Structure 1
Amino acid sequence: MDSSQVFVFRRKVSQQTLSALCRLLEQISAHIGQEAILLTQETLFPEQQRGKNPWGTECLQLLIAPQMSILLLGNFSVPDSLYQISLTWDSQTIQDLLTQLTPSVTLPQELEQYLTQSQLSPVVGAIKEFNLFFSNLLEIFWSEGNETPQMKCIHASVCQPIEEALRQQVEQERLLNQVITQIRHSLELPVVLETAVTEVRNFLQVDRLLIYQFSSHPSETETKQTFPNGWGKITYEARASQLVPSLLNMIPEDDCFSYLPQYQDKYRRGTVVAVENVETQYSSSFCLTEFLRHNQVLSLLIAPIIVEDQLWGLIIAHQCFKKRQWLETEKEFLGHIGEHLAIAIQQALLYKQVQEQKQFFEKRVFECTEELRSSIAVAQSAHLSKSEFLSNISHELLTPLTCVIGLAGTLLHWSGEQSSLSPEKQRKYIESIQKNGKKLMDLINDILDYSSITSGDYQLNIHEFSLYSVVNSVLRDFASEAQKKSIDLILDFQVQKEENDFYADRERIKQILSHLISNAIKFTPDQGKVTLRIWREKSQVFFQVEDTGIGISQEQLPLLFEKFQQLEKARQRTHGGTGLGLALTKQLVELHRGTIEVESTPEQGSLFTVRIPNNINLKNKKLLTNETNNVNKSAQNKTIILISKDEEAATLICELLTVKNYQVIWLLDSYPSIRQIEILQPLIVIIDQEIIQSQEIGKALKHYPKTSFVKVLVLRTSLQNISWKSLVKNGIDDYLIKPIEPTILLRKISFLGSLAIHKDKA
């Protein structure tokens, strides 16, 4: 071994310091892990051979690892009672030592691979491990004599490069710490990258240092055919002087790299590429050679920036005026910079995502706030609409009630034998009472119907009827009203005779047309015209009501079918109404699975079009309806028993049902015998009793075979705290809340009667 090439750190130390150095090597070995091999005097030589190693030393400690190798030798000096130590980390020196030991010592098998290598791993390949070793080494000697250890070299030309390498390692660590600190304290990615390229260029003393960033989402014009190996541009740059041309924002022609096999794959694996002579390295690619020559690149060093396992970009160092041989320390340093920049980029991307999520949530909070404000405005509007509705309904109810009460009072005052009222005037008063009473009934029916429909409790009574008879009936009802305003009420009936029959709820269709025609007459000036037009299209019927009235503005059309809405302000309103008419009409149309549309022009008139489907699946109800009608014509199938002690209510029920050709038997007995009901054979039993008594009667009727078909209708002022399941379980088929509304009573009687007949025949 040529001693002129051996560099050794020499010093006399105490036994305590020597022990500290041995522990330091053990610490470094433990830090590296399983890849490290630590050999000592005791492990290499038997007890009888100790002190007879090739160097004749009394202390020997050797650390061998892929990252670094360190040799410690020590001899005891008798005169001053100190140890003369020699410490080296030169790989060639250590490998020569292993070769010299081979003839006399059996080395562990793990060391055989080192003997076959031409050189052990140099210390510059492990910046962190060597910095740990070197800093602890200085600390040991400072603690011993408060002075910095001096390097003594066998050959002075070897010592200077070692000292320079140590200074470089310290500066590298300082710069890495600076980059890491900036990453931790800044989320502004452009600031981090700009500072990094400037500092790294200054440290490496290269002519140009830049960051080439790949684009993960090419534009529509940037296809894979144009960029077969990727795409991107130079986004950051630092130059030594203005003599170095700028490449900032340049988009290199990636086709030049296509001649390099899998040039991106090696970077994805984390490989750092060092090129000392670009012309020699890339001689096979004329395009790439020309690109580098044009931009004055003689040598280059490239490290990847990998973010979330994807190649985000490259950090590239350029030598432009002379070729450069890149050191291992420089390669590893640039690799570390790339790793830390990747952390900064990932951190910035996460921060950006957080900011975007923050903006999204802020936007959603704003939208929800606006929705809440809108909901509050709608609720306030609904409240105002309901208040106006209550005001309107009060007016609409008070007017006919005043008339009814006033005229009834007049008749009552002048009643008797001494009455001075002529029969004609009495008849006129009675007709007015009847008319206003009917108006009151219609208003109340509208409210009850709307409430029933919106709550989902109402069901249509589908059966077959004549379209012509319904529309004629509606027009007759409004003939007098139209005549008073000199309005032409026209029927345009376009339905063929064979298509006249239609399946729907006849009374509801009549109610729909009545609301539309009433509205048209109400808002059409005198001498105007209202047309009712009907036609069929396959399985659908169209009803169209056209008027020459005041019309509706486009802004008001969306409010037209809203409940409680009047398109005129209360103080300006010249026409009556509750504001429920068109809302109820729309509900009835949709209940038939139909549609209603409106077209209107202010001061010209309105056109309402209603489409009602003719459901062919409901034809099987025709037989049931016909059977009900036929059977109901016979007296024995129209018998109704009323059990009640309320004389006023019973009188009203008897009169209403008698007018409809029912035979009513009024029983005062709270507990009539089942035998008595069996003999009378009623279709329906109406019970106006306490709920317990009503349930006992209903349960008994359903239990007895000959009366099981009889339907039971109970009258109650309230059904609070009573479940419908409980009523059904005890034989109750339906109920009616008092005070009695005639239309609802007749509707329920008709429905229960049809069910009773059908079950009886079955």
Structure 2
Amino acid sequence: MNPVSKSILRRTLPISIFEKLCSLWRELMEIEGSSAILLNDSIIYPEITDISEILGAKKFYLLLSSQLCALLQGTLNDSSLSYQVIITCDPQAIAEFTHKLEQHLDNSSPWRKRLIPYIEPHLPQSNPLETHFNSRLWNILVPEFSETSDVMYEGLRTCEPVEEALRQQVAQERLLNQLIGQIHQSLELSVILETAVRELRSFLEVDRLFIYKFREKYLSTSESEKIQNLGGLVTYESRVSQSIPSLLNVVAEDVCFATIPEYQHKYRQGEIVAIEDVERQYSASLCLSQFLEKYWILSKLIAPIIVEGELWGLLIAHQCFKKRQWLESEKAFLGQIGEHLAVAIYQAQLYAQVQEQKNTFEQRVIESTQALRDTLIASQAANHSKSEFLGNMSHELRTPLTCIIGLSGTLLHWSQEGLNLPVDKQRKYLDTIQNSGKHLLDMINEILEYSNLQSGKYVLSVRYFSLTKVAKNVMQRVSDESEHRRINLELDLQIEPQKDSFSADPERVQQILYHLLNNALKFTSKNGKVTLRVWLEKNQLCLEVEDTGIGIEEEKIPLLFESFQQLENSRRRVYGGTGLGLALTKQLVELHGGTIEVESIINKGSTFTVRIPSQPQNKAKLVSQSEKNQALFTKNKTIVLVESNEEIATLIGELLTAANYHFIWLMDGTKVIKKIELLEPSAVILDKELSKIIEINDSLKQYPETKDTKVLILRNEITSKEWTEISKMGIDDYLIKPIQPNLLLKRVNALIFNNNES
């Protein structure tokens, strides 16, 4: 078989090499003479304008003769200024190419007739022209064969020396592919760079090869700052001998090179720098000369590593024992490795980011899981506390209810039998029923108030009041308990008479004091002492309750104000209570914008200190007690209640009548508004739906006789937002059910008094 009959060569070549190949085809034509045909794109173009679409290449040379048929095709790659080249002597491939030409040539073309004998495949015999072609072809190709890995070799045979050189170049290509494979096998950047440095130094047979990495901060600074700062350092290195000085972690080179014009700019453009004699190249720089001599650098080759458009580092090869002339193939090869390293580095960076995000996500999952676990534990603890609270409350409620039902049943039994129970025993029973009822009402109110606070349905009724009066009232309220427990109860009022007035919600302040005093009495032993101190400090009201009780452990103080909490189950059994008193107290204090603090010593006692700032109010007017009494005496004291519930109406009627009010009860009806207008009361108490309340209120405001009538509404619950909206409609005050007698009288008195002032 003819040695070139099955030869096909595909590769990427520089423009200069492609032009040499074109010259070879013209040289063969001159040798063969007129008996041969040489066609190219320039000759055919006038007859076939779309050559590249038909033939698959913009440039071609086709030699057809009895001794040799050879085809050269080339497609220009503008981005790399090179040609994609196909060289073939295969008869079948040449026949197909000539057939395409013949089909697209005009019938009158002289080239068409000359191509016909070469359309069918034929095998030229071996001859001197073929030998000349082989020799010249590989003289052109062999020096450039290592420039690219884009090679396909399909059985091409040449003379023995050239064939051996070709085998060496193919082995180099395989080694390059192996190196690239090793680089891409790992996503660990350190493994990639160590492998590349070691294998590349061996492959290029250089004395030292290393990677110089720039710092990110350094790359972002201005040129003047670059000269003043250290830009990077050597991170990976491979040496042919340990006697060669190491450059690992050395940074001095960059300081020296920073003085060179356009330093780094050429690397950012992707330029590969080859210096055969560094001593001569850098003779003008003392800094560089000393550095080169210190590290035995005679020749060097540098390729940039550009990652995502930024100069990441440099790949540098050194000759240390003799100078070296760098081949074009070596430059191209180092540049290729730099490009592959850039891809590998970018992939490793992405992998590192993914790992970091994965770790962050895992940490967030752990934190979220822990948060859910903590929430579950807290929820379980809360449920446990509430279960204990409900169990305790069943006992706390059952005790007064048993007394009420039992003693009232006894009185009812004696009454039904027509028997007379001794008066002192009747009074004792009634006192017990009354006290049990009050105790029961206090517990229920405590729970309802806490519920209202939790849901934001608590509204402060801010006005000026007497601190002395509030303090004495609450002391009187707990005096029976202190006497029963034989505890000394003292009031220390540190307030000047002219500064006795304070702006806040007096009922809530009294409630705060009651809970604190009741708590102090509960945990103070017989013959102990409880002291209430009241004083003003600038614009703040200070309340202090000190006891000589059992005290509180320091680590348990934070639990004092938790809902449904008593510090020990044994305390709950011994002392009783809902466990809401101090929690409610803290919320009432905070509702005023105040603070509460605790100091305690085990077995010596505790001190609770409350500070409440003065509360702002729109209209505040100080009136003497005599003026108030005169106003209440002279004012029309008629109160109208619109209520459909007979029990509530009876309770309110008895309370107001006992307080010397003229009480009138109206059932709901179509003429209720007319009746109110005729009565002209000082105040109206309404227990109706909001729409009906607004209708009645609007009607009263229309008539001169009733426009000053105050309106008090009864509600099961009310939020701050709801009360703000309702008060804007002209409603004067509200009261939450169940009705508290003292609170009802205070609210009604306040309405009548304010009405008199207006």
Bin for the TM-score computed over the shorter chain: 0.7 to 0.9
More displaced 10-residue stretch of structure 1: 161-170 or 230-239: 161-170
Q: 1:367 to 1:333 in 2, by over 3 A?
A: same
Cα offset, 1:595, TM superposition? 0.8
Unpaired segments ≥5 residues, structure 2: 43-56, 95-122, 150-169, 219-223
Cα offset, 1:562, TM superposition? 1.2
Q: 1:673 to 1:372 in 2, by over 3 A?
A: closer
- Contact residue 677 and residue 700 of structure 2 kept, 8 A: no
Q: 1:647 to 1:490 in 2, by over 3 A?
A: closer
Q: 1:624 to 1:320 in 2, by over 3 A?
A: farther
Residue in structure 1 matched with residue 661 of structure 2 by the alignment? 662
Cα offset, 1:743, TM superposition? 5.5
Cα offset, 1:603, TM superposition? 2.2
Cα offset, 1:592, TM superposition? 1.0
What are the Cα deviations for residues 263-293 of structure 1, in whole angstroms up to 9, with x where unaligned? 2333233222211111111112223222222
Residue in structure 1 matched with residue 371 of structure 2 by the alignment? 371
Q: What is the alpha-carbon root mean square deviation over aligned residues?
A: 4.8
Instruction: Determine the C-alpha separation between the residues in 1 that align with 2:309 and 2:378.
Output: 53
**Is 1:510 paired with 2:501?**
no
Residue in structure 1 matched with residue 471 of structure 2 by the alignment? 471
Residue in structure 2 matched with residue 115 of structure 1 by the alignment? none
Residue in structure 2 matched with residue 108 of structure 1 by the alignment? none
Residue in structure 2 matched with residue 679 of structure 1 by the alignment? 678
Residue in structure 1 matched with residue 40 of structure 2 by the alignment? 61
Instruction: Determine the C-alpha separation between the residues in 1 that align with 2:710 and 2:132.
Output: 121
Residue in structure 1 matched with residue 427 of structure 2 by the alignment? 427
Cα offset, 1:744, TM superposition? 6.0
- Contact residue 206 and residue 317 of structure 1 kept, 8 A: yes
- Tell me the SS of whatever aligns to 1:622: coil
- Contact residue 307 and residue 343 of structure 1 kept, 8 A: yes
Residue in structure 2 matched with residue 639 of structure 1 by the alignment? 638
Superposed, 1:605-624 pairs within 5 Å as 605-615=605-615, 617-618=616-617, 620-622=619-621
Residue in structure 2 matched with residue 137 of structure 1 by the alignment? 87
Q: 1:245 to 1:441 in 2, by over 3 A?
A: same
What are the Cα deviations for residues 419-451 of structure 1, in whole angstroms up to 9, with x where unaligned? 453322222222222222211121122122222
Instruction: Determine the C-alpha separation between the residues in 2 that align with 1:393 and 1:367.
Output: 38
Instruction: Determine the C-alpha separation between the residues in 2 that align with 1:662 and 1:53.
Output: 141
Instruction: Determine the C-alpha separation between the residues in 2 that align with 1:646 and 1:359.
Output: 67
- Tell me the SS of whatever aligns to 2:681: coil
Cα offset, 1:360, TM superposition? 0.6
Cα offset, 1:200, TM superposition? 2.0
Cα offset, 1:332, TM superposition? 2.5
Cα offset, 1:148, TM superposition? 13
Q: 1:632 to 1:270 in 2, by over 3 A?
A: farther
Instruction: Determine the C-alpha separation between the residues in 1 that align with 2:263 and 2:626.
Output: 90
Letter of the 2:617 partner, please give it.
L
- Tell me the SS of whatever aligns to 1:530: strand
Instruction: Determine the C-alpha separation between the residues in 2 that align with 1:88 and 1:416.
Output: 130
**Is 1:203 paired with 2:203?**
yes
Instruction: Determine the C-alpha separation between the residues in 2 that align with 1:691 and 1:494.
Output: 46
Instruction: Determine the C-alpha separation between the residues in 1 that align with 2:125 and 2:498.
Output: 122
Cα offset, 1:188, TM superposition? 1.4
Cα offset, 1:751, TM superposition? 6.7
Identity %: 49
Residue in structure 1 matched with residue 120 of structure 2 by the alignment? none
- Contact residue 68 and residue 124 of structure 2 kept, 8 A: no
Cα offset, 1:668, TM superposition? 5.2
More displaced 10-residue stretch of structure 1: 678-687 or 178-187: 178-187
More displaced 10-residue stretch of structure 1: 534-543 or 620-629: 620-629
Instruction: Determine the C-alpha separation between the residues in 1 that align with 2:570 and 2:427.
Output: 35
Instruction: Determine the C-alpha separation between the residues in 2 that align with 1:738 and 1:155.
Output: 114
- Contact residue 470 and residue 506 of structure 2 kept, 8 A: yes
Residue in structure 1 matched with residue 110 of structure 2 by the alignment? none
More displaced 10-residue stretch of structure 1: 567-576 or 292-301: 567-576
Cα offset, 1:315, TM superposition? 0.6
Q: 1:738 to 1:581 in 2, by over 3 A?
A: closer
Q: 1:514 to 1:12 in 2, by over 3 A?
A: closer
Instruction: Determine the C-alpha separation between the residues in 2 that align with 1:232 and 1:627.
Output: 91
Instruction: Determine the C-alpha separation between the residues in 2 that align with 1:208 and 1:227.
Output: 26
Letter of the 2:463 partner, please give it.
H
Cα offset, 1:321, TM superposition? 1.3
- Contact residue 303 and residue 315 of structure 2 kept, 8 A: yes
Instruction: Determine the C-alpha separation between the residues in 1 that align with 2:672 and 2:4.
Output: 130
Tell me how many residue pairs correspond in the alignment: 677
- Tell me the SS of whatever aligns to 2:228: coil
- Contact residue 503 and residue 619 of structure 1 kept, 8 A: no
Residue in structure 1 matched with residue 394 of structure 2 by the alignment? 394
Letter of the 1:302 partner, please give it.
I
What are the Cα deviations for residues 671-709 of structure 1, in whole angstroms up to 9, with x where unaligned? 446443223111333456799987876665456564455
Residue in structure 1 matched with residue 486 of structure 2 by the alignment? 486
Letter of the 2:684 partner, please give it.
V
Instruction: Determine the C-alpha separation between the residues in 2 that align with 1:547 and 1:430.
Output: 33
Instruction: Determine the C-alpha separation between the residues in 2 that align with 1:336 and 1:472.
Output: 96
Q: 1:729 to 1:534 in 2, by over 3 A?
A: closer
Superposed, 1:243-258 pairs within 5 Å as 243-252=243-252, 254-258=254-258
TM-score by length of 2: 0.76
- Contact residue 465 and residue 502 of structure 1 kept, 8 A: yes
Residue in structure 2 matched with residue 405 of structure 1 by the alignment? 405
Cα offset, 1:234, TM superposition? 1.8
Q: 1:738 to 1:445 in 2, by over 3 A?
A: closer
Superposed, 1:121-200 pairs within 5 Å as 129=82, 132-133=84-85, 136-137=86-87, 140=90, 162-167=141-146, 169-170=148-149, 174=174, 177-182=177-182, 184-200=184-200
Instruction: Determine the C-alpha separation between the residues in 2 that align with 1:244 and 1:343.
Output: 31
Superposed, 1:26-105 pairs within 5 Å as 58-61=37-40, 76-77=64-65, 80=66
Letter of the 1:192 partner, please give it.
I
- Contact residue 125 and residue 332 of structure 1 kept, 8 A: no
What are the Cα deviations for residues 348-405 of structure 1, in whole angstroms up to 9, with x where unaligned? 1111111111111111111111111111111111111111111222222221221222
More displaced 10-residue stretch of structure 1: 260-269 or 203-212: 260-269
